[in-house]
Structure 1
Amino acid sequence: MDWNVWFVLLLAYLFGAIPAGAWVARYYGVDIQKVGSGNTGATNILRTLGAGPAVVVAVFDVFKGGIAVLLARLFNIEGPLLGGVALAAVLGHNYSVFLRFTGGKGVATSFGTLLFLDPLVALLAFPVGILTMWLTRFVSAGSMVGGLAAVVITIALGRPFWEILTVLLLAGLIFWTHRENIKRLQAGNERRLGDKTGVAEAPQTDSVTR
């Protein structure tokens, strides 16, 4: 790989690493990693600060992944290397250098990368995740089912192997970062959408899965 590719991969990681959730919460005087789930994503922002800040964080997290893919294409990066850029952006979000390599769970950023990588797959998988979330009221369930749907759709549409592998790895990261949620779903004590979180509440998850 030439230096342009390494440069774009680094930029993709840094774009993904921008901790919008932590910075928005800090504006409100809250350390988001010390409340609720400790997650910096939009769901914890919603439970802690409300819908307005959550929408801001969600939109930013989606488009920082998309911008990483768009930037790579401006450098004429396609194929497997483009998949690597998408993964770098999501890894940046999950393990942000600005948050001592902690962060969010990568769902919105994964959607953003996929939206720019393959809009049809993203737009077909999105309603599956949303419907699951609406029926179960579990954001975690909707996130994981949406990730699985993206894999199935990518295969069904006959996309190139590198794209299938990229989407599979993105879905795998979603399941990995939701491993504590899976345990809580099995135990029957996972929070449902709409549940509120007090700012004094201790995080539910360890620092690795935030």
Structure 2
Amino acid sequence: MTGLTILMIGVAYLIGSLSSAVVICRLYGLPDPRTAGSNNPGATNVFRLGGRTPAALVLFMDIFKGTVPVYCSYWMGIDPIALGFIGVSACLGHIFPLYFGFKGGKAVATAFGVLLPLGLELAGLLIATWLAIVLIFGYSSLAAIVAVSLAPVFTWFIKPMYTVPVVMLSVLIIIRHKDNILRLLKGEESKVWDKVRLK
């Protein structure tokens, strides 16, 4: 592993550590998403807590912080496997943010941002998959799990040389959703449009 790759892994983690949900909620005077709602600092929970605008800002920022380090590394000529480690590092920053007590989110939007440099075809397939599952079942977590599970399959047909890095990313996101999987199996998972009643 080259010095440039190691540097970009560190940069990706530091960028990923910026918790968009916490920052946006503070700006909008909303409860801390780590301790309110689903206790997950992500766009879906911010949507429940504060509505569309803050959720959209969180979504954009979370995608952006995944795209920037991977896109820069891609144009630096870093090889596919190393790009996988850089992408995973950005997601680990989101999951265990250095600046916010290592308590972060599920990294779904950040993972999507990591995959964006691979092409609009892949992005479109992932968005279509996520939307279809949400519209049919209403669960953001289920949509994320299905989308990331299919991501390596889509990648194999679009840019097969990146399949292994995408598998690495998918496994991380699925593991991060273990609690959601258990709640889905028990029928206890909240749907996207469920609003939170604040005390």
CA distance 1:169–1:199, shift in 2 (3 Å): farther
How far apart, CA to CA, are the structure 2 residues paired with 1:143 and 1:181? Answer: 10
Q: 1:182 aligns to what?
A: 181
Q: 1:196 aligns to what?
A: 195
Deviations 1:47-87 (A, max 9, x none): 01111100000011011100011221343323211111111
How far apart, CA to CA, are the structure 1 residues paired with 2:118 and 2:166? Answer: 10
How far apart, CA to CA, are the structure 2 residues paired with 1:5 and 1:28? Answer: 37
Q: How many angstroms does 1:158 deviate by? A: 6.2
Q: 2:43 aligns to what?
A: 42
RMSD, aligned CA: 1.5
Q: How does 1:38-187 map to 2 (within 5 A)?
A: 38-157=39-158, 159-160=160-161, 163-187=162-186
CA distance 1:199–1:78, shift in 2 (3 Å): farther
CA distance 1:158–1:32, shift in 2 (3 Å): closer
Query: What TM-score comes out, normalization by structure 1 length?
Result: 0.88
Deviations 1:131-168 (A, max 9, x none): 111110000111011111212212344602xx212211
CA distance 1:158–1:34, shift in 2 (3 Å): closer
How far apart, CA to CA, are the structure 2 residues paired with 1:154 and 1:117? Answer: 8
8 Å CA contact 1:45–1:54 kept in 2: the answer is yes
Deviations 1:19-60 (A, max 9, x none): 110011122332221101111100010001111100000011
Code of the aligned partner of 2:60:
V
How far apart, CA to CA, are the structure 2 residues paired with 1:188 and 1:82? Answer: 37
State the number of aligned residues: 198
Q: How does 1:12-31 map to 2 (within 5 A)?
A: 12-29=12-29, 30-31=31-32
> 4+ residue runs of structure 1 moved beyond 6 angstroms?
none
Q: Which runs of 5+ in 2 are unaligned?
A: none
Q: 2:2 aligns to what?
A: 2
Q: How many angstroms does 1:169 deviate by? A: 1.9
Higher RCO, 1 vs 2 (CA within 8 Å, ≥6 residues apart): 1
How far apart, CA to CA, are the structure 1 residues paired with 2:159 and 2:75? Answer: 25
How far apart, CA to CA, are the structure 1 residues paired with 2:37 and 2:114? Answer: 27
Code of the aligned partner of 2:153:
V
Q: Which runs of 5+ in 1 are unaligned?
A: 201-210
Q: How many angstroms does 1:125 deviate by? A: 2.3
How far apart, CA to CA, are the structure 2 residues paired with 1:84 and 1:169? Answer: 8
8 Å CA contact 2:25–2:32 kept in 1: the answer is yes
How far apart, CA to CA, are the structure 2 residues paired with 1:119 and 1:95? Answer: 28
How far apart, CA to CA, are the structure 1 residues paired with 2:139 and 2:125? Answer: 20
Deviations 1:92-142 (A, max 9, x none): 111111122121101101011101134322222220121111110000111
8 Å CA contact 1:122–1:150 kept in 2: the answer is no
Same amino acid, percent of matched pairs: 33
How far apart, CA to CA, are the structure 2 residues paired with 1:85 and 1:119? Answer: 20
CA distance 1:74–1:199, shift in 2 (3 Å): farther
Q: How many angstroms does 1:198 deviate by? A: 2.8
Query: What TM-score comes out, normalization by structure 2 length?
Result: 0.93
